[in-house]
Amino acid sequence: MSSGVRAFVEAKAHVISTCGVRGEFPFERGNYFTSSEKYYFVNLWYENLKHLLDNGYLEDGKIEVLLFKHLDVDKFGYAYVVDERVPKEALHEPYFCGIRTNVEIIRMHHKVPDDKCLCEVDEYKLLTTSGRDDKGLDRLWCCQCDTRFEMQMQRRDGVYRVQLEEDSLRTWVLAWQEGGEFKRIPCMTAIEDSSIVKIDVERIYNTGTGEQQGNSIPLDKFRFTGLIRSAPKK
Ligand SMILES: [Zn+2]
């Protein structure tokens, strides 16, 4: 595996994606771009490049990168920024738009040992996610050996609808999951795994539907108990 060819290239964006980006430097998430020399920059968002240019980090208009080839094309296509003038916080982990990925860059960035495939390290974190079905089964892909994986990912903590069977009676309840353990709401008593029949795939969202939000009330009304209106005397 090569480790790229070191070069100073034009720090000039040519084709830029068009996501709305908020915030300020360093941007955690931004638009990807291809440079005027047609290199796709894998670890620098356009917004961060612009900040570096506007603030005199790259006075000569060049940026030092490692250039990588497309897998099957004899042409350099990817640029991985290594310029010492670029602060670390301006860079992000390699990101590839669309289905194109570059195995060499991922291996170099994550320091994958030579004798391991991308699917054999970091507990499948280096696989590309290609989709998720309605039961929460993730489809993953190893871009190095082209193996497909299906994996059930752990649900995050939160409130779930859980179906229980107790004394041959099935009921749906709300339960809080934390660290893989379910507790019944509101009493927060632990639920035995053996009594759980089914759990909804998705958490119950914190924010309700538009209709539910439209029916929401201020705190003083929420806590008020008593007479609101009396019928007028006739
Ligand atoms: Zn693999």
Nearest to 90 by CA among 31, 44, 30: 44
At residue 1, does pLDDT exceed 60?
A: no
- Least confident interval from 32-36, 89-93, 136-140, 164-168: 136-140
pLDDT score at 52 = 97
Q: Compute the distance from residue 105 Cα to the ligand 1 centre, in Å.
A: 15
Amino acid at the residue 225: T
Let me know if residue 221 belongs to a domain. no
Q: Compute the distance from residue 28 Cα to the ligand 1 centre, in Å.
A: 28
Q: Compute the distance from residue 120 Cα to the ligand 1 centre, in Å.
A: 7
Number of domains in the chain: 3
Q: Compute the distance from residue 123 Cα to the ligand 1 centre, in Å.
A: 12
Q: Compute the distance from residue 121 Cα to the ligand 1 centre, in Å.
A: 9
Q: Do residues 12 and 93 share a domain?
A: yes
Q: Do residues 67 and 88 share a domain?
A: yes
C-alpha–C-alpha distance, residues 20 and 3, integer Å: 33
Let me know if residue 136 belongs to a domain. yes
Taking only the tens place, the pLDDT of each residue in 178-218 is 988 999 998 899 999 999 999 987 788 656 667 777 877 78
Let me know if residue 171 belongs to a domain. yes
Q: Compute the distance from residue 205 Cα to the ligand 1 centre, in Å.
A: 35
Domain limits for position 166: 158-205
Q: Do residues 163 and 147 share a domain?
A: no
Q: Compute the distance from residue 142 Cα to the ligand 1 centre, in Å.
A: 5
pLDDT score at 70 = 74
Taking only the tens place, the pLDDT of each residue in 119-152 is 999 888 899 888 877 777 888 889 899 999 988 7
Q: Compute the distance from residue 141 Cα to the ligand 1 centre, in Å.
A: 8
Q: Compute the distance from residue 124 Cα to the ligand 1 centre, in Å.
A: 9
Let me know if residue 97 belongs to a domain. yes
- Least confident interval from 57-66, 142-151, 185-194, 224-233: 224-233
Q: Do residues 127 and 144 share a domain?
A: yes
pLDDT mean across residues, the chain: 88
Residue 20 phi, psi dihedral angles, 5° rounding: -70, 130
How far are the Cα atoms of 25, 48, 80, 113 from residue 53, in angstroms, in the given order? 12, 9, 17, 36
At residue 167, does pLDDT exceed 70?
A: yes
Q: Do residues 87 and 14 share a domain?
A: yes
Q: Where are the alpha helices (DSSP H) in 8-93?
A: 46-54
- Spell out which residues have Cβ within 5 A of ligand 1, the ion: 117, 119, 142, 144-145
Q: Do residues 128 and 167 share a domain?
A: no
Q: Compute the distance from residue 31 Cα to the ligand 1 centre, in Å.
A: 29
Let me know if residue 218 belongs to a domain. no
- What's the whole-model pTM score? 0.68
